[in-house]
């Protein structure tokens, strides 16, 4: 049986979520909206479908391809958006052969399509639409491709009631931001039964692969968390919460009845309630307010690449030379302390991963390692003086993420860890200045991720000023 999927809604009702994408690609409970429709077809035994697209059609084609990933054969065509189904069918190069199934792929529904097919066998009506309670399911078995009842599948709708076949299940039309928010929560809570990725690791907690979250974070309610996420142990989740893939939630954040879309950063102490978060967009579903948060310490988009990559290598090296000259008295003091303390070793030598690029054994680019050393003294400001030579050589920047050994870097396999690895390694930075040396590696990584997500030259200058102030602090001399 031929299958036609109408996925050509323009999506104005879901702005700003659809400003750069379309409804079929919006994430709902860990999967794109259209994928839930494909899974329902697969469960009913269908293995091919033709999808009608409009806005951002190329994005959909790139995401779903020929359907091989799902064991299906997918073909595509485009429309002007929200056209009448009869008009769309008339424009197809290969019209479907009756009987055929036609349905919308820009809404979400649960329930088995097998039941529709089985009940339709004993029903002679030219078109039979699935009904979920009082709601239309926007899926129809059609024996007459010229039937006016097909216009019931038009997103604009009509007053004519089709012949209905009642199915067990639910439908979410996704016709407003509040409806999109509620559909995510309903899917997480099981009120909209869908195939949800991840595994249940604790009561009320379902998480995707390579995600770091503590069950204690779920204070009450249900949480569905995607893949490659990192939530600080102090995060509190309550009510019903859906978090997409590649999300970082920082210390002591509180999240209640909220949907967080992929690649978002939630800052320290941020409280979210009844909201949708997409990067630095905050959408309040209770009053419809849409706010763009400019303070990246609160919300940030982890996919945004900084336009500026910091001061050039030449400027960093010149700054390193200047600091070396200014710090000559400190070098003298460091040598005196080492002489007086008489440790077993004058220096401790390390190998760190720097910013220079070299080719590995397979000809692929990778960061080169470099040798450095530290004074064997307990005074932090003196211990790391030799790293100034790494700034002069270009292996380190003056301000950047915490440099680590090549072995430590090789162990970073998760997406949020790799994001932190994109930041240049530096002599100074938020992790070096504010995070204790004995803090857990995850805390340091989160600090570096936050630094890179919020990178700006102005912010680097602020860290330099912070370092100058700390130079006369007790922490710099006692640790």
pLDDT one-digit tens code per residue, 122-135: 888 888 888 887 78
Q: Chain-wide mean pLDDT for the chain?
A: 88
* Across 300-319, average pLDDT: 65
Determine the pLDDT at residue 46.
Answer: 95
CB-based burial label for 307 (10 Å; 0-12, 13-18, 19+): exposed
* 164 and 38 co-located in one domain: yes
The whole-angstrom distance between residue 393's C-alpha and the CA centroid of its chain comes to 36
Of the ranges 91-105, 355-369, 449-463, the best mean pLDDT one: 91-105
* 337 and 471 co-located in one domain: yes
* 135 and 21 co-located in one domain: yes
Judge whether 177 lies within some domain. no
* 290 and 317 co-located in one domain: no
* 297 and 323 co-located in one domain: no
Smallest CA-to-CA distance from 263 within 279, 241, 242 is with 279
Residue where a domain stops, chosen among 301, 331, 354: 301
* 332 and 297 co-located in one domain: no
Altogether, the residues listed in the chain come to a count of: 479
3-state secondary structure of 317: helix
Judge whether 307 lies within some domain. no
DSSP code, position 269: T
Instruction: Enumerate residues 6+ apart whose C-beta is below 8 A from 288.
Output: 177, 178
* 250 and 329 co-located in one domain: no
Determine the pLDDT at residue 421.
Answer: 78
Measured in Å, how far apart are the chain's first and last C-alpha atoms? 73
* Across 411-429, average pLDDT: 82
Secondary element (H or E) of residue 328: helix 328-341
Contact assessment for residue 84 and residue 90, using Cβ atoms and an 8 Å cutoff: no
Using 50, 70 and 90 to split pLDDT, how confident is the model at 479?
low
3-state secondary structure of 425: strand
**pLDDT top residue among 54 and 300:** 54
Using 50, 70 and 90 to split pLDDT, how confident is the model at 305?
very low
Judge whether 184 lies within some domain. no
Total of domains in the chain: 3
Beta bridge partners of residue 300, listed in sequence order: 265
Residue where a domain stops, chosen among 301, 328, 343: 301
Determine the pLDDT at residue 310.
Answer: 45
**pLDDT top residue among 181 and 301:** 181
Judge whether 306 lies within some domain. no
Domain residues for 258? 197-301
* 28 and 116 co-located in one domain: yes
CB-based burial label for 221 (10 Å; 0-12, 13-18, 19+): middle
Give the CATH number, domain containing residue 131. Answer: 3.90.550.10
* 143 and 210 co-located in one domain: no
Judge whether 308 lies within some domain. no
Q: How far apart are CA 21 and CA 6, in angstroms?
A: 16
Of the listed ranges 105-114, 160-169, 245-254, the one predicted with least confidence: 160-169
Of the listed ranges 173-177, 274-278, 414-418, the one predicted with least confidence: 414-418
**pLDDT top residue among 227 and 380:** 227
Of the listed ranges 38-42, 62-66, 252-256, 433-437, the one predicted with least confidence: 433-437
Q: How many CB atoms lie within 10 A of CB 388?
A: 21
Judge whether 192 lies within some domain. no
3-state secondary structure of 200: strand
Judge whether 373 lies within some domain. yes
* 39 and 167 co-located in one domain: yes
* 283 and 319 co-located in one domain: no
Using 50, 70 and 90 to split pLDDT, how confident is the model at 420?
confident
The alpha helices in 176-307, defined as continuous H runs, are 177-189
Tell me phi and psi for residue 35, to 5 degrees. -65, -35
Q: How far apart are CA 43 and CA 74, in angstroms?
A: 16
Beta bridge partners of residue 256, listed in sequence order: 238, 273
Secondary element (H or E) of residue 321: helix 313-326
Report in angstroms the alpha-carbon separations of 153 from 9, 160, 289, 374. Answer: 12, 11, 31, 71
**pLDDT top residue among 405 and 340:** 405
Report in angstroms the alpha-carbon separations of 440 from 236, 261, 408. Answer: 20, 27, 13
* Across 316-330, average pLDDT: 90
Q: How far apart are CA 335 and CA 342, in angstroms?
A: 10
Beta bridge partners of residue 172, listed in sequence order: 108
Strand extents, DSSP E, 226-364: 230-231, 236-243, 248-249, 254-260, 264-266, 271-273, 275-278, 281-284, 290-292, 299-301, 347-359
Q: How many CB atoms lie within 10 A of CB 398?
A: 25
List the Cα angle 365/369/374 in 5-degree steps: 160
Judge whether 178 lies within some domain. no
Contact assessment for residue 108 and residue 192, using Cβ atoms and an 8 Å cutoff: yes
* Across 88-107, average pLDDT: 93
CA atoms within 13 A on the CB side of 227: 10
* 293 and 322 co-located in one domain: no
Q: How far apart are CA 78 and CA 409, in angstroms?
A: 46
Q: How far apart are CA 30 and CA 281, in angstroms?
A: 19
Residue where a domain stops, chosen among 172, 188, 208: 172
Report in angstroms the alpha-carbon separations of 212 from 39, 198, 299, 416. Answer: 28, 13, 19, 10
pLDDT at residue 306 tops 50: no
């Amino acid at each position: 049986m031929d299958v036609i999927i109408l996925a050509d809604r323009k999506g104005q009702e879901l702005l700003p979520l659809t400003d750069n994408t379309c409804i079929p690609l919006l994430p709902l409970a860990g999967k794109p909206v259209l994928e839930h429709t494909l899974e329902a077809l697969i469960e009913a035994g269908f293995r091919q479908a033709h999808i009608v697209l409009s806005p951002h059609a190329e994005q959909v084609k790139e995401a779903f391809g020929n359907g091989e990933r799902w064991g299906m054969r997918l073909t595509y065509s485009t429309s002007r958006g929200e056209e009448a189904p009869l008009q769309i069918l008339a424009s197809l190069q290969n019209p479907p052969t009756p009987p055929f199934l036609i349905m919308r792929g820009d809404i979400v529904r649960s329930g088995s399509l097998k039941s529709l097919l089985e009940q339709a066998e004993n029903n002679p009506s030219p078109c039979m639409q699935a009904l979920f309670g009082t709601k239309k399911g926007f899926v129809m078995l059609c024996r007459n491709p010229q039937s006016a009842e097909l216009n019931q599948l038009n997103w604009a709708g009509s007053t004519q009631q089709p012949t209905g076949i009642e199915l067990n299940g639910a439908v979410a039309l996704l016709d407003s931001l509040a409806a999109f928010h509620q559909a995510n929560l309903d899917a997480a809570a099981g009120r909209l039964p869908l195939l949800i990725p991840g595994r249940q690791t604790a009561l009320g907690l379902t998480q995707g692969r390579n995600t770091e979250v503590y069950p204690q974070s779920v204070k009450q309610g249900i949480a569905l968390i995607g893949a490659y996420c990192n939530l600080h142990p102090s995060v509190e989740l309550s009510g019903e919460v859906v978090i997409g893939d590649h999300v970082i939630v920082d210390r002591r954040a509180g999240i209640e009845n909220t949907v967080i879309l992929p690649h978002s950063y939630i800052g320290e102490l941020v409280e979210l309630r009844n909201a949708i978060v997409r990067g630095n967009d905050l959408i309040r579903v209770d009053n419809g307010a849409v706010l763009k948060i400019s303070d990246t310490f609160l919300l940030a988009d982890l996919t945004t690449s900084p336009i500026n990559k910091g001061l050039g290598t030449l400027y960093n090296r010149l700054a390193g030379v200047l600091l070396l000259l200014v710090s000559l008295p400190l070098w003298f003091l460091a040598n005196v302390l080492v002489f007086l303390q008489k440790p077993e070793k004058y220096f401790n030598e390390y190998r760190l991963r720097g910013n220079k690029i070299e080719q590995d054994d397979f000809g692929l680019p990778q960061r080169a390692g470099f040798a450095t050393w530290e004074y064997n003294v307990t005074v932090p400001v003196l211990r790391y003086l030799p790293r100034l030579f790494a700034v002069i050589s270009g292996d380190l920047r003056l301000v950047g993420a915490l440099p680590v050994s090549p072995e430590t870097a090789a162990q970073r396999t998760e997406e949020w860890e790799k994001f932190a690895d994109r930041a240049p390694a530096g002599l100074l930075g938020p992790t070096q200045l504010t995070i204790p040396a004995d803090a857990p590696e995850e805390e340091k990584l989160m600090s570096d991720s936050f630094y890179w997500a919020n990178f700006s030259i102005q912010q680097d200058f602020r860290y330099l000023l912070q370092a100058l102030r700390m130079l006369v602090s007790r922490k710099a001399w006692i640790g």
